[in-house]
Amino acid sequence: MQDPDRRDGYLATAEAKPSLLLKGENPRLIDEWQMAPVLWDAVRVAVDQRQEEGLFILTGSTSVDNTGIMHSGTGRISRMKMYPMSLFESGQSNGNVSLKALFDGPKLDIDGAMSDLSIEELIFSACRGGWPASLRRKRDAAKLMIAKDYVNNICETDISTVDGVQRNPVWANMILRSYARNVSTLAKKTTIYKDVAANADSMTAATMDAYLNALEKLFVIEDIDAWCPAIRSATTIRSGKKRGFTDPSIPVAALGLTPDYFQTDLKTFGFVFECLCIRDLKVYSQAMGGMVSYQAYLDILRKDT
């Protein structure tokens, strides 16, 4: 849908008779389908008519609201979030430990299982990120530029085009930097707002929330919810979210840091490393229908008991 030579024709067809775009061999993939949301309902109808599975794949780089969509697609369309590559997919992990095997019996013996990566290689992998384009680039500097270019494009263009609201690239960059500074922490939104408002006097908390919502739609930031083993405990509900990104290279690029910096500041790298682990756990657990959350502390001892 973003092919400049064919985009206008595709959009015109989608407006006049969207079912025409669904003709052809299956599975048929329509990339950036959100440019013509009517395709969602066209796919749903086609699935009902043909009563087959695996007919269509709708891919997009941004989330889509329900504007213009008549049906949720329940029972016809399954949603799956695509993440950047895990370390195993990019060839850095030896795969000695399987998350699925840990949940399947008998008990998996992981004693002595080690990564083949040195600390320097691990740092570079986190800074490079899981972008598929990095596998095609030969120079390390070129691999690191992918995340930097991504962050620049987010701030300059995508932050405004995601929902058609014009936004300030400078403000977007400041918000990303503050979020990156607090990656893998329980920093409150008020803390992030104070960081940004110090350099953007006219920004309100509501405006910052709008920017954060846009970054979520772009799959840039993705916070981690709390979890508590005591089901009836209110700890989970009362606990804040842990600030996270879909890929560890994003906060690194937003802060303008390099692998060389982290080699002398492993404490800061620990927060980036946690983001890397969360990304891979989300990739691996998704295949089992799992979810990733952090364990909230139980408020067991109270002054009134």
What pTM does this model have? 0.85
pLDDT at 126: 97
Per-position pLDDT tens, the chain of length 305: 888 899 999 999 999 999 999 999 999 999 989 888 899 999 999 999 998 889 999 998 776 665 567 677 777 888 888 899 999 999 999 998 888 888 887 777 888 889 999 999 999 999 999 999 999 999 999 999 999 999 999 999 999 988 889 999 999 999 999 999 999 999 999 999 999 999 888 899 999 999 999 999 999 999 998 887 665 555 555 578 999 999 999 999 999 999 999 999 999 999 999 999 999 999 999 888 888 998 876 444 444 44
At 17 the three-state DSSP class reads coil
- Give the integer Cα–Cα distance in Å for 132 and 129: 9
Distance CA 158, CA 169 (A): 10
What does the alpha-carbon distance between residue 253 and residue 173 come to, in Å, rounded to a whole number? 11
Q: Given this model, what pLDDT does residue 248 score?
A: 98
Give the max Cα distance, the chain: 71
Count CB neighbours of 134 within 10 A.
21
- Measured between alpha carbons, how far is 252 from 127 in angstroms, rounded to an integer? 6
Paired tokens of 288? 């089992």
Nearest to 243 by CA among 292, 296, 182: 182
Contact 203, 197 (CB under 8 A): yes
Instruction: List beta partners, residue 294.
Output: 226
Contact 199, 178 (CB under 8 A): no
List residues bridging with 59 in a β-sheet: 31
Q: What's the helix, strand, coil split of the chain in %, to 5?
A: 45, 5, 50
- pLDDT at position 201 is 83
Please check whether residue 56 is in contact with residue 27, taking contact to mean a CB–CB distance below 8 angstroms: yes
The conformation of residue 84, written as its DSSP 8-state character, comes to P
Q: What is the pLDDT of residue 302?
A: 42
Query: For residue 67, what pLDDT is reported?
Result: 59
Q: Name which of 127, 125, 120 is nearest 87 in CA terms.
A: 125
User: Residue 112, SS3?
Assistant: coil
Q: Would you state the pLDDT for residue 73?
A: 75
C-alpha span between 279 and 67 (Å, rounded): 30
